[in-house]
Amino acid sequence: MIKYAIFDLDDTLLDFKRGEQEGLTKIMTKYGVSDLKQGFDTYTKINHQVWEAIEQGQARDALLNTRFSKAFDLLGIKVDGATVEAEYRNSLDTNFYKLQGVDELLSDLKAAGVHFTSRN
């Protein structure tokens, strides 16, 4: 009998892509990005480079605090990277969009006696 289930929330239980899109739209609109497609494309390129560097062992927080300043620089907008990163993280932390079928899955697991716990 299965007693415990472990899930990664992003794109397993929660719709991370939707939350990310909404967060980026809010940030880019706030800081005056007029062409959102260009803004998303630029951010995506920089974000990919940042995560590659993190995966290679470079300092995570320092890199994350520069991804918006680097992307916005390419868009001709000056921002404080750490401030925008904090705003973006706050937006992601309020993403409660569940993927289709999640409620049923969790109800079925609970009915089967699977225990749930959370870990930060």
Q: Exactly one of 8, 61, 73, 103 is catalytic; which is it?
A: 8
Please say if 8 is a catalytic residue.
Answer: yes
Q: Exactly one of 10, 15, 41, 80 is catalytic; which is it?
A: 10
C-alpha distance from residue 81 to each of 53, 64, 96 (Å):
17, 8, 25
| Amino acid at site 109 | L
Rounded to 5°, angle at Cα 32 from 48 and 51: 10
Please say if 10 is a catalytic residue.
Answer: yes
CB of 21 closer than 8 Å to CB of 92: no
Q: What is the C-alpha to C-alpha distance for residues 34 and 51, in angstroms, rounded to an integer?
A: 26
Q: What is the C-alpha to C-alpha distance for residues 40 and 11, in angstroms, rounded to an integer?
A: 19
Catalytically active residues are 8, 10
